[in-house]
Amino acid sequence: MNTKAILEVKDLHAWFGNTEAVKGVSLSAAYNAVTAIIGPSGCGKSTFIRCLNRLHEELPGAYATGHVLIENIDIYDKKVDPVSIRRKVGMVFQKPNPFPSLSIFDNVVAGLKLAGVKRQSTLKEIAEQSLLSAALWSEVKDKLHAPGTSLSGGQQQRLCIARALAVEPTVLLMDEPTSALDPISTAKIEELMTELRKKVTIVIVTHNMQQAARISDQTAFFLSGELIEFGETSQVFTAPQKEQTERYITGRFG
């Protein structure tokens, strides 16, 4: 594995008005690594990854300070346009959210089409590539013009992955991508992630400890907005260094 860090977070703080949700987090992820973020509800893990594509600040009263370097470019630099950042950092959400009334095809190429790409041949090619990468192509290739919302939950989520991949991001953020899915769809997406990591660097928030253990290389444990422990997944899950991590992953929290 290439050990050069593609994602580097330095002293990141995130706020909702006067409430500090992320309190000075620093971590880094190597090229093509899968980083899992775990922690109890409300620990700031979702807020944290929403800072990695500057989506956090879209909420009313929300803002963030600190540095997030993606391929050595600080996305919190004043000169950087948050909109252009989001093209390099894709995101998959907790609930499958295909665009309503758009076909499967239009959903996948929405990012390109609305950014001004017009050539049909290019769009078709990218749609096929992205659907292939999202392991959905064989299931939808005969009904590309059916509405995205006509697919099953698991397929919709893979459609959302395809849509995120179509703009060719360097980093893919996944915010509990399987929490609304059944075990088989979950397994498919986990399987898919091991393929995706060859192309993108993945940061995934998950409530499912076993999932974090299965799919990630490194794990970060958040508690009350702070990064308590960050290390190799195998080490965090067999011999965590911190008492709080130990308590959380063995279910002794409370």
Q: In the complex, which residues of this chain contact another protein (CB under 8 A)?
A: 53, 55, 58, 60-61, 83-91, 93-95, 97, 99-102, 110-111, 114-115, 147, 150, 160, 163-164, 167, 209-210, 213, 237-240, 245-247, 249-254
Closest approach, Cβ 147 to another protein, in A, equals: 8
Structure tokens at 254: 């409370």
Closest approach, Cβ 243 to another protein, in A, equals: 10
**CA neighbours closer than 13 Å in the CB half-sphere of residue 195:** 13
Q: Which residues pair with 70 in a beta bridge?
A: 7, 73
Taking the least distance from each CB to another protein, the nearer of 33 and 112 is 112
If one counts every other C-beta atom within 10 angstroms of the C-beta of residue 128, the result is: 16
Closest approach, Cβ 164 to another protein, in A, equals: 7
Taking the least distance from each CB to another protein, the nearer of 79 and 138 is 79
Pure H helices in 72-208: 82-88, 104-114, 120-133, 137-140, 153-166, 183-196
Taking the least distance from each CB to another protein, the nearer of 114 and 184 is 114
Structure tokens at 126: 């990218």
Closest approach, Cβ 134 to another protein, in A, equals: 15
Dihedrals phi, psi of 34, to nearest 5 degrees = -105, 120
